[in-house]
Amino acid sequence: MAALPVCTTTSRRDWAALRETSALGESRPSRACHMVGSRRFVNFFATAGAGACWAIHRSSKHKTRGTRAVSRASHVPQAVRLVSVKGKQLVIDDASLFSLVTALKASPCSHIAVISIAGALRQGKSFFLDLFARYLESSDGWLAESLLDHQRFHWSSGMERVTDGVWVCPQVFQVPSSEKTRVGILLMDTQGTYEPGATRWQNDSLLGLAGLLSSTLLFNISKQLQEDTVEDLQAAMDMLHMTCRHKGRPPPPSDSRNLTFLVRDWAHADHDELHFEDDLATNQRLPMNDQEQSVLASFVHSTTAGQGLGQFFESLHCRTLPHPGHIDRPCWTGVSSDVSSGFINKCRKLFDTLAHAASAQTGAAIRVQDFEQTLKESVILLNSTQDLTEGKSRSAVLSDLSMLNAVDRARSSYRANMYRAGALMKGKAIPQILLGEVAGTRALVAEGLAAAHRDSVAVAQDELRRLALFSDDCALAQSASELEEELEKELPRLQEENRQWNQQRLNGLAEMTLAAVTVSGLVPPAAPGIAAVMVPAYGLQLWRFKIAGGDFMANSIELHKAMLRTERKWAKDKISPEKHS
- In tens, the pLDDT along 104-128 reads 999 999 999 999 999 988 788 999 9
Highest mean pLDDT among 276-285, 389-398, 541-550: 389-398
Query: How much is the pLDDT for 505?
Result: 58
Question: pLDDT of 130-180, one tens digit each?
Answer: 999 999 988 777 887 788 888 889 887 666 667 888 999 999 998 888 778
Angle, vertex CA 299, rays to CA 164 and CA 220, nearest 5 = 20
**CB contact at 8 A, 444 and 423:** yes
Q: Which has more confidence, 230 or 25? A: 230
Q: How many CB atoms lie within 10 A of CB 34?
A: 17
**Phi-psi region for residue 119, left (φ > 0), alpha (ψ -120 to 50) or beta?**
left
Phi, psi of 533 (to 5 degrees): -80, -40
What is the C-alpha to C-alpha distance for residues 43 and 77, in angstroms, rounded to an integer? 9
Contact 187, 173 (CB under 8 A): yes
Which burial class, exposed, middle or buried, applies to 274 when counting CB atoms under 10 A from its CB (0-12, 13-18, 19+)? Answer: middle
Q: What is the pTM of this model?
A: 0.62
What is d(CA 581, CA 488) in angstroms, rounded to the nearest whole number?
64
Least confident of 28-32, 474-478, 575-579: 28-32
Assess contact for 229 and 221: CB atoms under 8 A. yes
The pLDDT of residue 194 is: 75
Cis peptide before 525 (omega within 30 of 0): yes
Please list, in sequence order, all residues whose beta carbon lies within 8 angstroms of the beta carbon of residue 419, skipping any fewer than 6 positions away.
425, 439, 440
Query: What count of other Cβ atoms lies within 10 Å of the Cβ of residue 303?
Result: 18
DSSP 257-292: -EEEEEEES-S---TGGG---GGGGS-------HHH
CA dist., res. 236 & res. 241, Å (int): 9
- Dihedral class, residue 422 (left if φ above 0, else alpha if ψ from -120 to 50, else beta): left
Which positions ≥6 away from 491 have C-beta within 8 Å?
449, 450, 453
* Gap between the Cα atoms of 462 and 471, Å rounded: 15
pLDDT value for 570: 57
Count other C-beta atoms under 10 Å from residue 477's C-beta.
Answer: 12
**Encoded amino acid at 360, one letter:** A
Answer whether 112's CB lies under 8 Å from 366's CB.
Answer: yes
Query: Which domains are assigned to the chain?
Result: 12-56 (no CATH), 80-391 (3.40.50.300), 392-488 (no CATH)
> How many helices and strands, by DSSP H and E, does the chain display?
18, 14
- pLDDT at position 151, please? 87
pLDDT in tens, 414-467: 888 887 776 665 444 443 433 333 334 345 566 778 888 899 999 999 988 888
Phi-psi region of 124 (alpha: psi -120 to 50; beta: other; left: phi over 0): left
Instruction: Tell me phi and psi for residue 47, to 5 degrees.
Output: -90, 150
